[in-house]
Amino acid sequence: MKLKKKTPEELRSHRWYGAMDMRAFGHRSRTAQMGYERSDYAGKPVIAIINTWSDINPCHTHFKQRVEEVKRGVWQAGGFPVEMPAMSLSEPFQKPTTMMYRNFLAMECEELLRSYPADGAVLMGGCDKTTPALLMGAISMNLPAIFMPAGPMLRGNWGGATLGSGSDTWKYWAELRAGNITEKDWQEIEQGIARSPGHCMTMGTASTMTSAAEAMGFTLPGAASIPAPDSRHAAMATLTGKRAVGMVWEDLKPRDVLDADAIHNAVTAVLAIGGSTNAIVHLIALARRAGVKLDLDLFDALARKTPLLANIRPSGKYLMEDFYYAGGLRAVLKNLGGLLKSGARTVNGKTMGENIADAKVFDEDIIRCVEHALVKSDSLAVLRGNLAPDGAVIKPPAAEAHLHRHTGKAVVFADYNDMAARIDDPDLPVDKDSVIVLKHAGPLGGPGMPEWGQLPIPQKLLKQGVRDMVRISDARMSGTSYGACVLHVAPESWIGGPLALVRDGDLIELDVPGRKLNLKVSDAELAARKSAWKAPAPRYERGYGAAFSRHITQANDGCDFDFLEAGAQTPDPEIH
């Protein structure tokens, strides 16, 4: 640990406020314009509060109030809070997908911190991509930074049943298409499934990534599991603001926290909570921002020995509110014992082991011990073969077990619109053993690798009672989804990966225990198809889309922009 405390003159903000020149006069006079006295900020750490509140983001509606609580903590600890709004990536509304803008927000976060007089930062996010985006930006900027998770919303309810975000949308949509519930039922579900501020309360990408942020040491202990409307969430916001000030004086920066042990803990935690497959893409990008090596092989290696302990939908039964009352993430981490790197540093200055030492489990069905794990291992599997030379992923516990080893004939859709037009065609040549394939859904093809990976079961099969089939794409899948869905196939079909070469009727072999995904077509035939393949025309000629298309990396490399991965530190701006 660093022992020497910074002096006020060593603060980064001192360069803006402390000098006796004309520029500093301007900074001070404009701060006075906002109603502050010099004593409000002089010699104090400026804490930038990067707030992803927006009227269009239902998961962050409480951030207007929470930011006041963060500010309260900053003031109490002797800092100067400055709220800086940043793009809110609203999962339900933003098209074509929030993933298209994750790197955009990461850049915005990094450049806000660089271009303004920030000494440290509180990062306020939670809805899916906001968490990795803010952390990626903060890691690259490397100013003291702490993450304040939005917290999950309360349980959903309908007619006495508990509803979970996403998972029950897919479930009841299938039941509606199968004719098992009415339009009126469906409308009632619409009213009851999301009933408070906060992010999705299943173990979707939001809960997964906020938990990963805590497991890698970027939040105060326990922060990720508190439901958004709970009074403890407000108190946590204040504590987080306070701690940000301390981190500045101690000069405790993201890359002091994010090392190989922190990444090991994040991956292990994601596996133990049955986290979203999206975490794979995000954690690879995060780790690489800090120069820490992470690839698909580490996920697979840790999956082979990490038990699934959190009984949360979609892999389990309960929701995040129940998880909090049962002890939350700290209790899961404690139950992992030696599977965790207990010496990893965290933002409160203590080790992960110290932070979870007194954690308790209050419901052993919701938070399991290793002996009574829901799944002993393999809550995630990395597949390779001639259909995915650079890897693909599947979440085995979310799939019907009989599909873990399966060979079937491909039913191929050229893109999403083709699938939407034909999937429910009564004449579609598909049966329960078919393998549904979707092309052009990857980082470039989607674009933005949308969450289309839980391809719908054809209506005629739903009516026969089929609820799971092998489905393959280069898309991602919402963490709230389930099924035998092979995702993140790399390289993607848009750039001519082998997925582009699959045709109707080809045999595809999925072997999860053997970690294989193969197209049973001869090499000679595949070579002939490849030479006949034509690259699609570029989707964007200008603007952000064009920059995105030029610089986005493939799923196995984290879908970061190639120029944002770790490298020489960008210099601070001159103040003149």
The DSSP output letter for 559 is S
When the beta carbons of 207 and 493 are compared against ligand FES, the nearer one is 207
Binding letters toward ligand FES, positions 213-252, x by CB under 6 A: ----------------------------------------
Q: Is residue 199 close enough to count as binding ligand FES by CB under 6 A?
A: yes
Q: At its nearest, how many Å lie between ligand FES and the CB of residue 200? A: 3
Q: Is residue 204 close enough to count as binding ligand FES by CB under 6 A?
A: yes
- The answer to whether the CB of 125 falls within 8 A of the CB of 147 is yes
Query: In the chain, what are the helix, strand and coil shares in percent, each to the nearest 5?
Result: 40, 15, 45
When the beta carbons of 129 and 345 are compared against ligand FES, the nearer one is 129
Cα 484 to the center of its chain, rounded Å: 21
d(CA 433, CA 414): 20
When the beta carbons of 276 and 346 are compared against ligand FES, the nearer one is 276
Q: Is residue 112 close enough to count as binding ligand FES by CB under 6 A?
A: no
Element (H, E) at 502: none
- The answer to whether the CB of 337 falls within 8 A of the CB of 370 is yes
Q: At its nearest, how many Å lie between ligand FES and the CB of residue 368? A: 25
Selected from 127, 247, 419, 519, the binder of ligand FES by CB under 6 A is: 127
Q: Which residues contact 1 (CB under 8 A, 6 or more apart)?
A: 250, 345, 349
- The answer to whether the CB of 164 falls within 8 A of the CB of 172 is no
Q: Is residue 259 close enough to count as binding ligand FES by CB under 6 A?
A: no
When the beta carbons of 128 and 259 are compared against ligand FES, the nearer one is 128
Q: At its nearest, how many Å lie between ligand FES and the CB of residue 87? A: 14
Selected from 128, 230, 259, 492, the binder of ligand FES by CB under 6 A is: 128
When the beta carbons of 128 and 322 are compared against ligand FES, the nearer one is 128
Q: At its nearest, how many Å lie between ligand FES and the CB of residue 91? A: 4
Q: At its nearest, how many Å lie between ligand FES and the CB of residue 50? A: 17
Site size toward ligand FES, by CB under 6 A: 10
Contact range with ligand FES by CB under 6 A, out of 199-207, 251-259, 427-435, 537-545: 199-207
Q: Is residue 168 close enough to count as binding ligand FES by CB under 6 A?
A: no
Tokens of 427: 């004449």
Report which of 131, 155, 291 is spatially closest to residue 212, judged by C-alpha positions. 131
Q: At its nearest, how many Å lie between ligand FES and the CB of residue 330? A: 22
Q: Is residue 132 close enough to count as binding ligand FES by CB under 6 A?
A: no
Q: Is the dihedral of CA 202, 203, 206, 210 positive or negative?
A: positive
Q: At its nearest, how many Å lie between ligand FES and the CB of residue 276? A: 10
* Helix/strand/coil for 159: coil
Q: At its nearest, how many Å lie between ligand FES and the CB of residue 315? A: 17
Half-sphere exposure of residue 153: CA atoms within 13 angstroms, side-chain side: 24
Q: At its nearest, how many Å lie between ligand FES and the CB of residue 561? A: 23
Q: At its nearest, how many Å lie between ligand FES and the CB of residue 220? A: 21
Contact range with ligand FES by CB under 6 A, out of 72-80, 113-121, 200-208, 346-354: 200-208
Cα R_g (the chain), whole angstroms: 24
Q: Is residue 200 close enough to count as binding ligand FES by CB under 6 A?
A: yes
Q: At its nearest, how many Å lie between ligand FES and the CB of residue 85? A: 17
Q: Give the residue carrying structure tokens 């922190």.
A: 262
Q: At its nearest, how many Å lie between ligand FES and the CB of residue 196? A: 13
Q: Please, what is the Cα angle at 246 between 244 and 252, to 5 degrees?
A: 80
Q: Which residues contact 163 (CB under 8 A, 6 or more apart)?
A: 155, 156, 157, 189, 192, 193
Tokens of 389: 């030379």
Report phi then psi at 226, rounded to 5.
-75, 125
d(CA 482, CA 455): 10
Q: Which residues contact 69 (CB under 8 A, 6 or more apart)?
A: 234, 235, 237, 238, 241
Tokens of 486: 């092979």
Cα distances from 330 to residues 215, 334, 350, in angstroms, run: 9, 6, 14
d(CA 68, CA 74): 10
Binding letters toward ligand FES, positions 60-99, x by CB under 6 A: -------------------------------xx-------
Contact range with ligand FES by CB under 6 A, out of 198-206, 259-267, 310-318, 418-426: 198-206
Tokens of 343: 């010496």
Selected from 122, 206, 212, 399, the binder of ligand FES by CB under 6 A is: 206
When the beta carbons of 197 and 497 are compared against ligand FES, the nearer one is 197
Which parts of this chain interact with ligand FES (CB under 6 A)?
59, 91-92, 127-128, 165, 199-200, 204, 206
